[in-house]
Amino acid sequence: MALTTNVAYIFPDKMTYVRNGMSIDASGEGVQFPLQVGVPVQNNYLFKVIPASYSLTCVSGMNDYQAGGQPLNQTNTGSGNNIISTALNSKNLPNYRLPATGVLLDCERCISLTVYYGSAISTFTAYIEGFDYRGNAISFSATYSGSMTTVVILQPISIVTSVRFSNDFDASGSGTAQQMSVGNSNVIGLPYYLAKNDYVINATWAGTALAKSTITPGFNWRAAGTSGWPTRGYVSIPSTANGTSLLTCLYSVTGSDYELNQEIDIENQSSLKIAQIQKSTGPLAQNVLPYLTEYDLTGVVSPANNDFIYQYNLAKSF
């Protein structure tokens, strides 16, 4: 943290926007602090959303468990001010990059798989494709085995365009395919990258404070050097979403922290650790990307950001 003084009086009319973001001149005299004029304004973000009702079938109704892909809902689910999902087609696509059909969830959230069966199921892998809320292509998979009813795939997504499986399945051997539905969940995605639970200031659900343990940070792409999930992090709400309860999460967004970026630039040891700047493993042993990028704000998704991750991995080897 930059050296600052205790602020007794703040004059809102004395504000500047310099390279390191918004700051407030506490004295009105243009006091020069180490990294900027005035005291820096912290970059805290209040996320607020009323998730639509929980549904096990809003992405795909109960259908035969098909390796070729589950048929997606092509009718809107829900009504009035509680629309759970919206069918996408060529007439209402929000972005020209999107395919002809898909299902738009009410907000970015994790999807669930529900199996209807009479006995234990075999091992299978689910493959999900679609887009995040920023319109970036995203795909991920998860493997399950043994007895299950409903599972949540812990990668938030906004638009689902494909749900496929590794194989068709017949539990009894009678030739009757197992059935599966795809829905939303009570796990809500965060809009900006949350690096650590420590950065959560306050969170509430339906007017009650949430424990930090209900909030999962985003995937640390700097340390791992590859894409992964969850991209930005998520909140697991403790009761069923009903279309009326409000979720809030106030947290510090490090990717928009201009003061932190300036301290990285002068190689402040603490700030390098806070931003999780990595050293390359080659003979140069240099800092890799020693500045904040858009991905420190939005996280990394695959395949949309695969080119960036490829270049980042190369840089880590020098």
In the prediction, which pLDDT does 88 show?
Answer: 87
209, pLDDT greater than 80: yes
In the prediction, which pLDDT does 12 show?
Answer: 40
146, pLDDT greater than 80: no
In the prediction, which pLDDT does 6 show?
Answer: 32
In the chain, count of helices (H) and strands (E)? 5, 20
% of the chain at pLDDT higher than 70: 77
Q: Which of 315, 268, 261, 266 is nearest to 293 (CA)?
A: 261
Please answer whether residues 301 and 227 qualify as being in contact, where contact means their C-beta atoms are separated by less than 8 angstroms.
yes
% of the chain at pLDDT higher than 90: 57
> For the ranges 144-153, 165-174, 241-250, which has the lowest average pLDDT?
165-174
In the prediction, which pLDDT does 225 show?
Answer: 62
* Per-residue tokens: 24: 């407030």
φ, ψ for residue 223, nearest 5 deg: -75, -45
In the prediction, which pLDDT does 227 show?
Answer: 65
What DSSP assignment string belongs to 203-238?
EEETTEEPPGGGEEEPP-HHHH-S--SSSSEEEE-S
Q: Which of 51, 87, 55 is nearest to 182 (CA)?
A: 55
- pLDDT tens profile 67-116: 788 899 999 999 999 999 999 875 555 554 555 689 999 999 999 998 87
In the prediction, which pLDDT does 282 show?
Answer: 83
* DSSP label at residue 37: B
In the prediction, which pLDDT does 25 show?
Answer: 62
Average pLDDT estimate for 160-172: 77
11, pLDDT greater than 50: no
In the prediction, which pLDDT does 94 show?
Answer: 52
Whole-model pTM over 0.75? yes
Average pLDDT estimate for 292-304: 92
124, pLDDT greater than 50: yes
Please answer whether residues 139 and 128 qualify as being in contact, where contact means their C-beta atoms are separated by less than 8 angstroms.
yes
In the prediction, which pLDDT does 2 show?
Answer: 38
Q: What is the mean pLDDT of the chain?
A: 83
Is the Cα torsion angle 198, 201, 205, 209 positive or negative in sign? positive
In the prediction, which pLDDT does 275 show?
Answer: 94
33 Cβ contact list (under 8 Å, min separation 6): 2, 3, 4, 39, 40
> For the ranges 57-66, 95-104, 278-287, which has the lowest average pLDDT?
95-104
